[in-house]
Structure 1
Amino acid sequence: MTAAPTRRDARRRPAPSRTGFYVGQAVVIDLLLAVGAIAAWPIYRSTAFIVVVSAGISAGHVVAAMGVRWRWSGWWVALAALGAYLALGVPVAAAGSLSSADAALRALVSVATAPVTGWKDLLTLELPLGSYQATLAPTLLLFLGSAVAALSIAWRGTRWWMPAVAVSLVPAVFGVAFGARSLAAPLRVGPVAVQPETLVGIAALVTALVAVIWRTTDERRRALATASAATGVVRGPGGRRRGSAARAATAVGMVVVAIAAAAVWGPWALADQPRSVARSVVDPILELERAPSPLAAYRASFTDERYDETLFTVTASTGLDRVRLATLPFYDGRTVRAVDPVTGTADPMTSFTRVPSSLDESAAGAAVVTVRMGTGTGIWVPTIGALRAIAFEGPRAADFADGFFHNAATGGAIEIADPGLTAGDAYRLDVVPEPAAAPVASLVPSRTGPSLPAEAVPASLTEWIEAQQAGSGGSGLETLLDRLRSRGYLSHALQLTPGQTPSWLQDLGEGGFQSSRAGHSADRIGALFTQLLDREAEAPGGSDADLVAAVGDDEQFAVAGMIIADQLGFNARVVVGTRLASAEDLPVCDEGACRGGDLAAWIEVQDAAGRWTPIDVTPQHESFPSPDLEQRRDPENPTDVRRDEAEPVLPADASPADGDRPAQDAPDEQADLSALWTAVRIGGISLLAVVVLVGPLVTVLAIKALRRRGRRRRPDVAGRFTGGWEEYVDTAVDHGYPAPAHLTRQELALLFAQGADGGAGTRLATWADRSVFDVAPPSTEENDEFWRIVAAERSRFAAGKGFWARLRARLSLRSLLPRTRPRRR
């Protein structure tokens, strides 16, 4: 016969200590927060992130413990957490700003506004962020706030403790939502490939189950211990072990099934699938869409006013021969541009992001390049090679860093600070030199047909390609581009000023001037190839020197080369920049000083392996176009001009895309509004900080005022009395009085009086009871007197209390929360 599962002890045991409960609850919450830190690690990849997470969780423990120890209300806990965040923000989340008082002040402003504006930095910066400026401030606030909220709920809650587990999972959700657009490389464990994101999800699931099981087990153990201490009846250990084993087996089985399903199904389901995260749908607001294409303004650099102006000066080591200003991958038949006219900034080719730290720390062979600006290049920032990091110099370095955006896919960069880079501004680039260009003939196209729309490709261009019979692939592309360049003629102007020779024509030294229109629309490119076809029809079988007919410059020939490469199946793009060195007789920057006349445009072609190869397309200028073709003109019929009857006819405005730009009128003098803008900006930031800090407090006051107004203006008189009684009780509750639900109104009035004259409260209770139960409810005059007594009672509750006690009562949330009847023991 088995022993009884329970036994009675004459001595009652003391209740178990709460210290173990607090420590154990903190440990399981910390496990959940640690999983969130692992999920958010790829966003920063910096030791500063570990310091921020550790400081945030530790400060959260302290604030939550102080709130439990001194029984603070939710408002005081929130204010303490906010104070801890502001105190730790600069030294922990923006430690690099402690070098100067000015930088520390700016960092303090960034930390204070991070709860509202910090998400923008997290979504518009290129990952990893490192410890860039104050980007760690939102993470500090997240982990500190999650720790405070989760521990406060878990330590104080008896029944509603489950939200603590959900709050502890918020950092893990943050790591996923603000992470990279693409999945990390899978981890291989033997034949099984597991995504790191899957492992993070499994860890979050396991730790959440551990937290739930620990809490339920602890509550069961404490309930049994309390019952044992009260009754002396002790439950045998066998039942506890069997119950714990069953629950543990169930939990382990669930976890094993979930892990097996995720490991097998996850990689297959997520293969080649884009990852939808917050940065996938939020793009930086840039000036790209409003900025004109730099190729459209290309010819303006060859006027005598700008030809010898120094745009910028480059100090670089040997082996770096091209400076990139703008990369223009898209052509719509009118102009080439950096933004896709169809998809806009959603295309990866136009995904400009800020550079927080090093873009590719694993790259070897980095070089340092220094660029000092002259007259400048607008929003386009000169870069060389593959960018790793950029560091601006001077007093506006922080502004330039905030306004610098880089496109990793194209290598282009822009600066949108207002004002932008001006004369004297400088920056240092850490770059990786691009590999040596492969021979054009060795390139293999990545597709079998063109990608440009048919309306953007001139018919004369496709006709000319077919007439050359150059073949396909890299060899065909090399042949076509060589013939295009050798049968073209360089010209940067539509006409010459009588008696003057432009600087660009003097530097050429050979040949002569030939007129050419600006622009690179499909019509302009079509006219270029029409000239070639007409000349080939007149001189079939002639040499390249005999077939020179296409007149233009890099603006037209770069677009023509891009379309030719596209027709052969190559991805191609136009690059505007300068050359530091050239194997051909092409303009280069003398001693690194790049002038307006050194500006050039070339194309980059991508082969099947994904490599981009630069190809020069500048036409030759030694062989002048054949006079047989160029001297053909419409017959000139002499006309007698009567000057007294002649009327001048003004020409139509020329299109900037298809001709030389008309001279711009002198800009109107405008008032300097920079000081006003600075004041408005500072005022806006200050107002935003005030709204963040004071907004919740004002909201509570407004809710209570609207509630009081609604109660006093109820349509029926009886409702106004009951509403006034509710206002009386809520006021007492906000001032710390208990309001048990089982007491009558008369009993509550005596309870709120606490030894004082309870006549006022008793009158309120009597009137409220009459309004509900009496056949004839009180009159309107009595209602006014009722609400006057309610106001007097509110003053009585606040009398004798200090300022902070009265403010705490005004902001208390106790009256806004539902009050339930107490459970019977």
Structure 2
Amino acid sequence: MSVDAAGRRARARRDAGRRERDLTFTIGNVAFIDGLLVVGAAASWTISQSLWFVLLAGVGIAAATAIALVGAIRGWAWWLVAAVTAGVYVVAGVPLAAPTMITDPATILGAVVGVLTAPVTGWKNLLTLELPIGIYQATLAPILLLILALGVLAHSLALRAPRAWVLAAPTALLLTVFGVAFGSSAVSGAFTVGPWRLTGAWEATVGLAALLVAFGWYLWRSIHSRRSALRAARNANGARLTGRANRTLGTRIALSAGMLVVALLAGVLVAPWAIAGGTRDVIRTAVDPELRVREALTPLADYRTAFTDDRYDQVMFTVSADESVDRIRLATLPFYDGRVMRATDPLTGTAGDTAFTRVPATLTGASGQEVTADFRIGAYAGIWVPTAGDLVSIDFDGSSRAALADGFYYNSDAAMGVELADPGLQDGVAYEQVGRVSGTVRDPGTLTPALSKPAVDPAYVPESLISWIETQDAPTGGAGLAELIQRLRARGLLSHALSIDPATPPTWMGDLGQYTFEPSRAGHSTDRIGALFTALLDKQNEVGGTDDAQLVAASGDDEQFAVAAALIADQLGFPARVVLGTRLSTTDDSLSTCEDGECTSGDLAAWIEVADADGTWTAIDTSPQYAVSLSPDIQQRRDPQNTTEVEPEQADTVLPPEADPADSTNQEEEEPNAPVDLAWLWATLRISGIVVFALLILLLPVFTVLMAKLMRRRARRESPDPLDRVVGGWEEYVDTAVDHGKQPPQAATRTETAEALSTGIGSDGSRLAVLADRSVFAPVPPTDDDGARFWELVDAERARLRDELGWWGRWKARLSLRSFARGVRQLAARTRAGGR
């Protein structure tokens, strides 16, 4: 009795020790894998930089750990773990990854769609949005998906894979790789100790933490595996670990740790000098949003169409802004190719040092006074978005605000925004914009050139422009720039047309008051600008002196004079760009402004911005005057105008046919059939398609397994050799039994295998084994009829195995991968046998 009690106590102690070791094993693996996931989430912090991201990462890591633990304890199949993970992602994704979209009932459906489509389209949003993205729409959904998927897979490998556990750490480290690849190209923080300086302290910390945690996990796992093996050997034959073995293990651990420390110190010391002056290339660096800016016609080429009578008084947009906002920008045109001013470089296709990116929440980096402007679009149409100052944030209003926000792109270098949504800016669109403007107006005469030589290709600069600058005897620097532009404006004459009808003068001409019209050619090519300065030079050479009133010789409007002023600034060493927009206020009475915030087409203007040596931009007006007409001498010497007499077209009057008195019934006017509104149908089809597509993605693994088994069974059944059909039928029977949870013995005959697998009444497993052995070893090969009868028995046995299980068990068997694993083991065994 005492012996039995002692045995029970010994077994109880062993069971308790085993449970303790299993608990230690589980806690250790979970702790290290969760540590790697936390490091990966920290690497992705630069993408969002929001406290909500911390909540999302914490919930995601906790959910992934819970799913993997429950799956390991309950022995869930892989497809069940994947299904639960997908379900948690969909349920938790909407409140966690799209919190701002569930506050408005109109955007809840968009939040659900955004979360469902994030596995396919969410990556583009992360690359095209300006960092940090905050919690903009559903852009956090891909990060949540990665945390859940990688966390569940890494934990499952660590807890359930006896051989593939080594892949758990690389799997978890993929989250860190994601944070680096999809993060910002700029490094953050620096650590300085004397002459040693480490740039990118945050990135270095994250990388070092990931390396140390992964190394620590491998070391702990190796020690745990070794101790488990020694404990098993001790329990089996009483072997014990010697002190020398312990010392050897400690020496190996110390050497490994020492090598790691030396490698880290060497990397930290060498890295600052190795990467000094280099750039950090990430995926974002190589991705350019698919914009239509390069294909869009430069808005300056359409400048004169705004002054036609049918558009002149149309209200393009209304704006209500702070008093410090004096200009509204539509487009910035920094590049000149000899034909037109462009928003993008014709050689590289870029729009300056920064690219067009989407605006998630707010932009940082702009300095100056913060201002707010409320816009409402009227008759304006185009991709160029009216903005005030350097953009900080923009908030569209109305039912289409989500689409407008998705289609809005901004270039911080050019301070210009474009709207690429369909239909985009149209009558009634409203938005609130926060920007920053300089609190002081800088005198152009105080500017300092930033360039030592012109930036525009000399082939695009007219010789007459250079000659005109040389003949002005103007000072250098900002003072010379201010004086040259003042002379250019004073010696030009405003004109928006090549010809007019004197009987009905255009509206713009009537608003100028006492004005004498002079024709002017449109365009701002090198030839057109050259002709402008040629006229100025000819007049100056003829009249002499410096009286601007006597030197008025060139007619044109902002299109020509803004480009001419930009080329002058470039010749003086100032980076210059043409800006198209409107003015809200000005001290120059000759310039048009928007009255009461209503900006009409007639208020459209162009000016230039020049950059000082400190990088700040200053706006300079370039519109020509209209009070003083061309000099009489120039008018008298102008080439005679050869007018063309336009004769009216000759047309014969055709009388209508006489009415038939017999046809006296009143014909009712047929009303046109109203088109059927199918907008709801397309919206329904679109949403249905997205949902179906998401379901297909989630069910793709299920379809793959079912299709693979069907193709395997068909190949076995339809083999041209009857013997192969019989052998394939036997393999199909064994695979079906394995998928239904049965375990065949190793290295057994078919009869022994059938006895182990055949359970229940009416099993034909033994008969299948006998027929298969007879077909293989008989001197006469089986016939086609034998193969067909054998497969009838196989089908009956497969049906019997299915009937033993319920609905849920049958689906588990259909999706089980145990039979494929069995095939891999058999192939590996045959390969080893062939090698021996």
Q: TM-score, normalised by structure 2?
A: 0.88
Amino acid at match of 1:512: T
In 1, the alpha carbon distance for the partners of 2:286 and 2:218 equals 35
Aligned to 2:667: none
Q: Superposed, which structure 2 residues align to 1:227-246 within 5 Å?
A: 227-236=233-242, 239-240=245-246, 242-246=247-251
Instruction: State the 1:132 CA deviation.
Output: 1.1
Amino acid at match of 1:410: A
Check the 8 A contact 2:344/2:352 in 1, yes or no: no
The verdict on how the C-alpha distance between 1:764 and 1:330 changes in structure 2, with shifts beyond 3 A counting, is farther
Residue 35 of structure 2 is aligned with which of 28, 31, 35? 31
Deviations 1:230-257 (Å, cap 9, x if unpaired)?
A: 34444356643x2453233223323323
Instruction: State the 1:187 CA deviation.
Output: 2.6
Aligned to 1:695: 700
Q: Superposed, which structure 2 residues align to 1:683-722 within 5 Å?
A: 683-714=688-719, 716-722=721-727
* SS at structure 1 position matched to 2:375: strand
Instruction: State the 1:111 CA deviation.
Output: 1.0
The answer to whether residue 304 in structure 2 is matched with residue 306 in structure 1 is no
Amino acid at match of 2:702: L
Check the 8 A contact 1:750/1:758 in 2, yes or no: no
In 2, the alpha carbon distance for the partners of 1:514 and 1:65 equals 85
Aligned to 1:353: 357
Aligned to 2:419: 415
Aligned to 1:199: 205
Deviations 1:629-685 (Å, cap 9, x if unpaired)?
A: 23435467999999999xxxxxxxxxxxxxxxxxxxxxxx99977556534432432
Residue 215 of structure 1 is aligned with which of 188, 210, 221? 221
Aligned to 1:733: 738
Instruction: State the 1:214 CA deviation.
Output: 1.1
Aligned to 2:297: 292
Q: Superposed, which structure 2 residues align to 1:757-776 within 5 Å?
A: 757-759=762-764, 761-769=765-773, 772-776=776-780
Instruction: State the 1:469 CA deviation.
Output: 4.1
Check the 8 A contact 1:390/1:427 in 2, yes or no: yes
The verdict on how the C-alpha distance between 1:430 and 1:639 changes in structure 2, with shifts beyond 3 A counting, is closer
Instruction: State the 1:122 CA deviation.
Output: 0.7
Amino acid at match of 1:372: R
Deviations 1:146-184 (Å, cap 9, x if unpaired)?
A: 221111111112222011101110110111011012222
Residue 77 of structure 1 is aligned with which of 68, 78, 81? 81
Q: Superposed, which structure 2 residues align to 1:601-750 within 5 Å?
A: 601-634=606-639, 674-675=679-680, 677-714=682-719, 716-750=721-755
* SS at structure 2 position matched to 1:324: strand
Aligned to 1:224: 230
The answer to whether residue 347 in structure 2 is matched with residue 342 in structure 1 is yes
The verdict on how the C-alpha distance between 1:642 and 1:443 changes in structure 2, with shifts beyond 3 A counting, is closer
Check the 8 A contact 1:767/1:778 in 2, yes or no: no
In 2, the alpha carbon distance for the partners of 1:774 and 1:638 equals 111
The answer to whether residue 416 in structure 2 is matched with residue 395 in structure 1 is no
Amino acid at match of 1:287: R
In 1, the alpha carbon distance for the partners of 2:719 and 2:512 equals 91
Deviations 1:454-496 (Å, cap 9, x if unpaired)?
A: 4432333233333334354333322322222121111111211
Check the 8 A contact 2:65/2:151 in 1, yes or no: yes
Instruction: State the 1:775 CA deviation.
Output: 4.9
Check the 8 A contact 2:345/2:352 in 1, yes or no: no
* SS at structure 2 position matched to 1:296: helix
In 2, the alpha carbon distance for the partners of 1:266 and 1:324 equals 44
| The 10-residue stretch of structure 1 (708-717 or 594-603) with the greater mean CA deviation from structure 2 | 708-717
Aligned to 1:663: none
Amino acid at match of 2:204: T
Check the 8 A contact 1:359/1:388 in 2, yes or no: yes
Amino acid at match of 2:634: L
How many residues get paired?
A: 789
In 1, the alpha carbon distance for the partners of 2:464 and 2:477 equals 21
The verdict on how the C-alpha distance between 1:545 and 1:726 changes in structure 2, with shifts beyond 3 A counting, is farther
In 2, the alpha carbon distance for the partners of 1:464 and 1:718 equals 98
Higher fraction of helix: 2
The answer to whether residue 178 in structure 2 is matched with residue 158 in structure 1 is no
Check the 8 A contact 1:603/1:615 in 2, yes or no: yes
The verdict on how the C-alpha distance between 1:615 and 1:365 changes in structure 2, with shifts beyond 3 A counting, is closer
Check the 8 A contact 2:584/2:593 in 1, yes or no: yes
Check the 8 A contact 2:68/2:155 in 1, yes or no: yes
Amino acid at match of 2:456: L
| The 10-residue stretch of structure 1 (112-121 or 723-732) with the greater mean CA deviation from structure 2 | 723-732
Q: Superposed, which structure 2 residues align to 1:444-523 within 5 Å?
A: 444-470=448-474, 472-523=476-527
| The 10-residue stretch of structure 1 (164-173 or 440-449) with the greater mean CA deviation from structure 2 | 440-449
Aligned to 1:661: none
Deviations 1:294-317 (Å, cap 9, x if unpaired)?
A: 111211111222222221122122
Amino acid at match of 1:69: I
Residue 149 of structure 1 is aligned with which of 123, 140, 153? 153
Amino acid at match of 1:24: G
In 2, the alpha carbon distance for the partners of 1:507 and 1:556 equals 21
Q: Superposed, which structure 2 residues align to 1:432-451 within 5 Å?
A: 432-451=436-455
In 2, the alpha carbon distance for the partners of 1:567 and 1:790 equals 90
The answer to whether residue 801 in structure 2 is matched with residue 797 in structure 1 is yes
Structure 2: gaps spanning 5 or more residues: 1-8, 651-673, 830-836
The answer to whether residue 326 in structure 2 is matched with residue 321 in structure 1 is yes
Check the 8 A contact 1:477/1:564 in 2, yes or no: yes
Amino acid at match of 2:556: G
| The 10-residue stretch of structure 1 (769-778 or 735-744) with the greater mean CA deviation from structure 2 | 769-778
| The 10-residue stretch of structure 1 (40-49 or 705-714) with the greater mean CA deviation from structure 2 | 705-714
* SS at structure 1 position matched to 2:511: helix
In 1, the alpha carbon distance for the partners of 2:645 and 2:577 equals 52
Check the 8 A contact 1:97/1:104 in 2, yes or no: yes
Aligned to 1:114: 118
Instruction: State the 1:555 CA deviation.
Output: 0.9
Deviations 1:738-783 (Å, cap 9, x if unpaired)?
A: 2344222222222222244454x34544454456555543223322
Amino acid at match of 1:541: G
Deviations 1:538-557 (Å, cap 9, x if unpaired)?
A: 22335222221221111111
Check the 8 A contact 1:314/1:592 in 2, yes or no: yes
Q: Superposed, which structure 2 residues align to 1:32-71 within 5 Å?
A: 32-71=36-75
In 2, the alpha carbon distance for the partners of 1:155 and 1:581 equals 70
Structure 1: gaps spanning 5 or more residues: 1-9, 646-668
| Identity percentage of aligned residues | 48
